[in-house]
Amino acid sequence: MAFSSTVFLFVFLPALLLIYYCKLVKSNKTRNIILLIASLLFYAYGEPIYILVMLVSILINYTMGLLINKCKEENKNAKIVLIIGIILNIGILIIFKYLNFILENLTLLTNKDLTIESITLPLGISFYTFSILSYLIDVYKGEIKTNEGLLNIALYITFFPKISQGPIIKYSQMQEEINNRKYVQKDFTEGVIRFIIGLAKKVIIANYIALIADNCFMVGSMSTATAWLGAISYTLQIYFDFSGYSDMAIGIGKMFGFNLPENFDYPYSAGSITEFWRKWHITLGLWFRNYVYIPLGGSRVKKPRLIFNLLVVWLLTGIWHGANWNFVIWGLIYFVLLAIEKLTNLHKNKKFTKTIGHIYTLFFVIIGWVFFRSDSIESAIKYLTEMFTIGKKGIIDVTFIEYLKQAWFVLTVGIIASFPVTKAIQKIIEKKEINKTIINIVKSVGLCAIFILSLSMCISSTYSPFIYFNF
C-alpha cells in the first residue's frame, strides 16, 4: 500500500487516526497494539503471503535477542548466537533477493540451466532486515536490554511508516517513544504539513518528470540534448520520489507521536561526493558506517586498509540496492570517487567545494544514476554513449524541444526545490520581521492548494509505485 494511493489516503490513514485517538484509547501500550495491528495490515495489503515470513522473522529474532542477552549474563559465547542470527537474516535476504541473480551467473559460467522460477521480492525486505540486524548487534554490544517485550520489538520492526522504504533506524532511537511518547498538537500539525509536502513531491513533481525519464531510457536512439534531459529528469525523479516518501514517513510518524530521523538534506547542493553521501539516504549511510565501516577500522587506518574498507562498504551498498551488475558498478563508481577524496582530502578543500566541487559532484551523480536506472551495464553504456557523442539525431532534436515545452515549468520547480531555497527565504522573512499572521495565512492557503492538487492527481492518475519499493 503506497502512501500516495487512494486506499491509504482516504481509508487506511483516516480510519487509523480515528481509532488511535479515540477517547477510549488512553495508554501507550494500547496504542502500540493498535499500531502493530495496523502495520501488519498495511504490510499484508501488498504482501499477504509474506506476512508469515515477517511474523516468523520477528519471533526468531526476538528469541535470538533473548539468547544473546542470556549468554552474556552467563558469560557464555554470545558472539556465536549473534553470528547465527546474522547468517539467518542475511540468508533469508539472499534467498528472496539474490538467489536468481546468483543462479543466472552460475548458469553463464557452467553452461547448465540452474535458474528457478522467479521469486517475488517481499516488500521492504532490505530495509527491515537492516533494522533487525542493528537490533541483534546492539543487544550484543549491550546498548539494548531485551526486557522490552515482544510487542515493542515487533512494533519497531513493522512500524508501517518506515517498513517499506525506511528511514533505517536503531531500536534505541524508537525505544523511548515506544514506551513514553507524548502527544503535542504542534507535532501533529507539523506532521500533517510534512506529509502534504512529501505527497506533493511524489505526485506533482516525481511522477510527472518520470514520464520524460522513462521515455528517454526506453528509446534506442536520441539526440545528445535529449539523453542529458532524460538523465537529469531521472536525477530529479529519484530525489523527489524518495525524499517525498521520507517526508511522508516522518510526517506520519509525528502524527502518531514518533520522531523519525531525517533521510535527506538537499544532497544536490553538495560540494563533494563525500558531502553528497552525508546528505543522501542519511540513515543508510549511518547504518553502513556504524555496522561495517567503523568495525573494519574506519578511516583511522593505513591507506591500503582504508581503500579496502571503502571497497567493502561500497560493494555492499551497491549490492544492497539490487541484484544486478549495474548496481555493483554504481557502487564501485562511488568507491573510486570517495577513495580519491579521502586520499587527497579534496572534500576538505573549501576553495574546491565552494566552486567547481558542485559541478563535479552533480556530474558524477548524474552519471551514477544512469547506471542505477538502466537494466544492464550494456544499456547504461549505450545511454552514456548517447550523452557524450553526437549520433544520428544530432545535438538537439524535435523530441527534446517537445519535452522541454511540456515540462519546463515542473523541471524548473524541481531544480529550484532541490536546493535549500526555502530555508533562505525563511531567513529573509525572519530578518525583515514580516507580520506572522500574514505569513501563516499564505502558508495555509498554499498548503491547502498543494494538497487538493496532489489529491486530484492521486485520484486521476494511474498507480505509480515509489522507486525504492524495489529494494
Long-range contacts, stretch 273-279, CB < 8 angstroms, 24+ apart: 273/334, 273/337, 273/338, 273/341, 273/347, 273/361, 273/364, 273/365, 274/338, 274/341, 274/342, 274/347, 275/347, 275/353, 275/361, 276/361, 276/365, 277/334, 277/338
Catalytic residue among 281, 321, 347, 358: 321
Active site residue 321: yes
Rounded CA separation 72/174 (Å): 24
C-alpha distances in angstroms, 277 versus 168, 241, 324, 460?
A: 15, 17, 22, 36
All residues at 6 or more sequence positions from 440 whose CB lies less than 8 Å from its CB, including other chains: none
Do the beta carbons of residue 236 and residue 205 sit within 8 Å? Answer: yes
Do the beta carbons of residue 173 and residue 385 sit within 8 Å? Answer: no
SS3 content of the chain, % helix, strand, coil (to 5): 75, 0, 25
- Residue 3's Cβ-count burial label (10 Å; 0-12, 13-18, 19+) is buried
Rounded CA separation 152/61 (Å): 13
Q: Which of 135, 399, 159 is nearest to 290 (CA)?
A: 135
Do the beta carbons of residue 446 and residue 193 sit within 8 Å? Answer: no
Cα dihedral sign for 48, 171, 131, 282?
A: positive
Cα 444 to its chain centre, rounded Å, is: 29
Q: Which of 237, 242, 236 is nearest to 167 (CA)?
A: 242
Rounded CA separation 123/154 (Å): 16
Nearest-10 Cα torsion for 384, 469, 137, 90 = -80
What angle (nearest 5°) sits at the alpha carbon of residue 248, between those of residues 372 and 233?
35
Q: Which of 142, 131, 139 is nearest to 169 (CA)?
A: 131
C-alpha distances in angstroms, 78 versus 67, 95, 461?
A: 8, 26, 52
Q: How far apart are the first and last CA of the chain?
A: 15
C-alpha distances in angstroms, 285 versus 28, 243, 251, 277, 279?
A: 31, 15, 22, 7, 9
Residues annotated catalytic, as ranges: 321
